[in-house]
Amino acid sequence: MPRAIRGVLIECEPAIKSILVHIDSTELRNDAIIEDLDDTRLIVKELMVKELQKRLNLKLKETYRPEQPLEDDSD
Amino acid sequence: MASGAPPSFLFSEYLEKLPAATFKKLYQQPSTAFAIFRRMLPALAKVYVQALLYMSEPFSVKSLNVWVAPDGEIASKQALGILRSLHILEVVQPDKTQPQAIQLTANFKKSLRLALEGGGSHNSFGVPSSLPVDPHINIAFLDNWAGTIWHTILYYVVDSFPSTLGQGPGRSRAAPKLAVKGLLEAGGLVRVAQGGQTQISERGFNFLLQEANAQVWSLLLLWLEAIDRLRAENKEAVKQDNVETLSFLFMLASLELGRAYDTSALTEVRKNMLPFLSDVGLIYIDPNNKQQYFPTRLATTLTSSSSTLRSVVASFDAAVAKTAGDASSLMGNNPSSTHEETGIIVETNYRLYAYTSSPLQIAMLSLFCRLNMRWPNMVTAQLTRESVHQAVANGITANQIISYLAAHAHPQMRRQAAVKGTQLLPPTVVDQVRLWQLECERMTTTPGFLFKDFDTVDEYREMSLYAQEIGVLVWKSDRTKMFFASKVEPLRDWLKMRKKGN
């Protein structure tokens, strides 16, 4: 008898995926990822998607400097 | 959101959640059956309904498959799936020895026949009022009235966005009715922040970028779901479902614009709906004469299948829009600006020149552009990485931005593109907007169900194949024997059927 598990399929680049796996294991006590499908896909608990996304954006911001547009009069 | 399922923004989603008994009752009304047929079915499904409508015996599945070309098999299965999920079609199998056959469900068949042939005393298409009609209530008046009401609602949502231009002189100060405000809040289109200030939400952005017809439906769905919640809280008998409410909406859609209808012919439930429908501009009730109600264009186009882009094209050629008579003609610019050419010019350096004085359109632009200057008839703006990132963070997609710009392009842009044979929008801009979106969307998410732990390879293969045929399969891996589907109900039913078959 097959099982059906409710979740959210996440598709992303391999690099992003490994960051997600890292976040899950270090910050979220393996509580977000249900199933590791392959290099680019994960199944994640519905409730944890937002949290994971937030933490991913934080991680990316640490490494990423957006170049300033020439005529930026910051609003 | 605390209360269970999120509000569905698609009417078809809402319908699919309804139980079979509700459909049975809904289809007792010829107007409902007709409206569903018109609005909800893809072309192929319509062909099937038309073919089956006057068949006296169930039609065997084998004969049906003869009609289908090999490469159209998936489309055919999908059409049949939709028909089944709307309870229009049922599969019958009198006994094991006979082949499976399909037929239309009894109520739907009867009602659609009645709708096409006329006859019966069902009053399903409204009762015209026999009382004299006030001569000032004509189509132009109704259009104007409904347009004002609908604009007020849109302004209310847009206004809650902290526009960089602040309160322009053209901003409408009128507010929608309290009930409508409450609904927009409950549906999460706007949030009330501290100090009573409203703030637009992700859903609100999506709402604004929808076409007119879809906007009306979104609002009605919010309302239907609000009623559902209210009933659940008051623990009212489950018996009272949305049948009356829904079938009244479908009836409205079949009424004639500019005609007066009799309120006394309505049931109590329907009478109670009138105030709200008038608040959102679907019907007009003369304050001096409550015996009559007038459907507006917003109501009569509810179930028209033509997807009406809310475009400035409507105002670009006002005369055409008037005769075309779709809901979008209500959504165009101010009547005063219809003589000039209005629209947005997009340059390859991401600058935008929007020739418009409509505060609604300017506010829309501010959702994804940085506005630079405002002139009496024009605003200048720029698409920047930040502005697009901001928009994406608010739930607006790059495609929505691009299609908005394309739909509202200035006639000059159209002429240029036509003469030179190039694309309407500069390709660099289109690509860059998409790239900017990609920067903030490092992953795509699809809610659904993972199927695993199959007993046999065959079971996996058959089930994933079935999921693919009915169009719910998102991903599968033959190696690990797992697949991901967006819906679970049809697959569970299929599994039960299979168990029985063995």
B291 and B342 both lie in a single domain: no
B162 and B258 both lie in a single domain: yes
- Closest by Cβ to B452, choosing from A3, A38, A75: A3
ipTM of this model?
Answer: 0.82
- Closest by Cβ to B442, choosing from A16, A35, A43: A16
C-alpha dihedral sign at B286, B291, B294, B298: positive
- pLDDT at residue number B197: 64
Distance from CA of B348 to the nearest CA of A (A): 16
Per-residue pLDDT in tens (0 to 9) along chain B, 502 residues: 333 334 445 677 778 778 888 888 888 888 888 888 887 788 888 888 988 888 888 888 888 888 888 888 888 888 888 888 888 888 887 677 777 888 888 888 888 888 888 766 666 677 777 777 777 778 888 888 888 888 788 878 776 554 434 444 444 445 677 778 888 887 777 777 666 666 677 677 777 777 677 788 888 888 888 887 777 777 655 445 677 888 888 888 888 887 888 888 788 878 888 888 888 888 888 887 778 888 888 887 777 644 333 332 333 333 233 333 344 444 444 343 343 467 899 999 999 999 987 777 787 888 889 999 888 889 999 998 888 888 887 777 888 888 888 878 888 888 888 898 888 899 999 999 998 888 777 788 889 999 989 888 888 998 988 888 888 899 998 888 999 998 888 888 888 888 777 6
C-alpha to C-alpha distance for B171 and B189, rounded to whole angstroms: 20
| The pLDDT of residue A67 is above 60 | no
Whose CA is closest to B68, among B52, B56, B79?
A: B79
> Chain B 148-187, CB below 8 Å of chain A: which residues?
164
Domain count across chain B: 4
Q: Give the CATH number of the domain where residue B474 resides.
A: 3.30.70.2610
* Average pLDDT over every residue of A25-44: 89
Cβ separation of A12 and B442 shorter than 8 Å?
yes
On chain A, the residues whose CB falls within 8 A of the CB of B451 are 2-5
B31 strand-pairing partners: none
B157 and B275 both lie in a single domain: yes
Q: Which residues contact B410 (CB under 8 A, 6 or more apart)?
A: B341, B342, B343, B344, B345, B353, B355
CA B126 to chain centroid: 24
> Chain A 11-70, CB below 8 Å of chain B: which residues?
11-13, 16, 20, 34-35, 37-38, 41, 43-44, 46, 49, 53, 56-57, 60, 66, 69
B161 and B242 both lie in a single domain: yes
B286 and B374 both lie in a single domain: no
Q: Where are the domains of chain A?
A: 8-57
Q: Which residues contact B344 (CB under 8 A, 6 or more apart)?
A: B352, B353, B354, B355, B356, B365, B405, B408, B409, B410, B413
B282 and B225 both lie in a single domain: yes
Q: Indicate the DSSP class of residue B422.
A: -
Q: Are A10 and A42 in contact (CB under 8 A)?
A: yes
**B93, two tokens:** 């199998």
- Edge to edge, what strands does the sheet with B283-284 contain? B261-262, B292-295, B283-284
- pLDDT at residue number B280: 85
Q: Give the CATH number of the domain where residue B34 resides.
A: 1.10.10
Main-chain dihedrals φ then ψ at residue B501, nearest 5 degrees: -60, -35
In a domain, B425, yes or no: yes
Q: Is B369 on the interface with A (CB under 8 A)?
A: no
Domain end among B414, B440, B466: B440
In a domain, B316, yes or no: no
B197 and B231 both lie in a single domain: yes
How distant, in Å, are the alpha carbons of B153, B157, B179, B198 from that of B296? 16, 22, 20, 29
Chain position carrying tokens 């934080």: A58
- Closest by Cβ to A43, choosing from B440, B450, B495: B450
Q: Are B27 and B122 in contact (CB under 8 A)?
A: no
- pLDDT at residue number B170: 41
Domain that holds residue B267: 139-300
CATH class assigned to A8-57: alpha beta
Cβ separation of B443 and A53 shorter than 8 Å?
yes
C-alpha to C-alpha distance for B250 and B108, rounded to whole angstroms: 14
On chain B, the residues whose CB falls within 8 A of the CB of A35 are 450, 452, 482
CA B223 to chain centroid: 14
In a domain, B3, yes or no: no
**B114, two tokens:** 């009645």
B161 and B254 both lie in a single domain: yes
Cβ separation of B443 and A56 shorter than 8 Å?
yes
B64 and B202 both lie in a single domain: no
- pLDDT at residue number A71: 53
C-alpha to C-alpha distance for B187 and B97, rounded to whole angstroms: 52
- pLDDT at residue number B121: 65
Cβ separation of B444 and A10 shorter than 8 Å?
yes
B477 and B427 both lie in a single domain: no
Q: Which contacts qualify for A59-63: CB closer than 8 Å, 24 or more apart?
A: A59/A19, A59/A23, A60/A19, A60/B442
Q: Indicate the DSSP class of residue B224.
A: H
Q: Are strands B343-346 and B370-374 parallel, antiparallel or unpaired?
A: unpaired
B435 and B462 both lie in a single domain: no
Q: Is B141 on the interface with A (CB under 8 A)?
A: no
In a domain, B122, yes or no: no
**Residues B192, B197, B203: CA angle, nearest 5 degrees:** 45
In a domain, B309, yes or no: no
Dihedral of the alpha carbons of B216, B218, B221, B225, in degrees to the nearest 10: -140
**Minimum CA–CA partner of A15 in chain B:** B442
C-alpha to C-alpha distance for B40 and B84, rounded to whole angstroms: 13
Domain end among B251, B284, B300: B300
**Residues B92, B97, B102: CA angle, nearest 5 degrees:** 20
C-alpha to C-alpha distance for A58 and B191, rounded to whole angstroms: 25
B237 and B285 both lie in a single domain: yes
Q: Are strands B190-192 and B198-200 parallel, antiparallel or unpaired?
A: antiparallel
Cβ separation of B446 and A49 shorter than 8 Å?
no
Side chain identity, residue B341 = E
Side chain identity, residue A4 = A
- pLDDT at residue number A13: 87
**Residues B319, B323, B326: CA angle, nearest 5 degrees:** 110
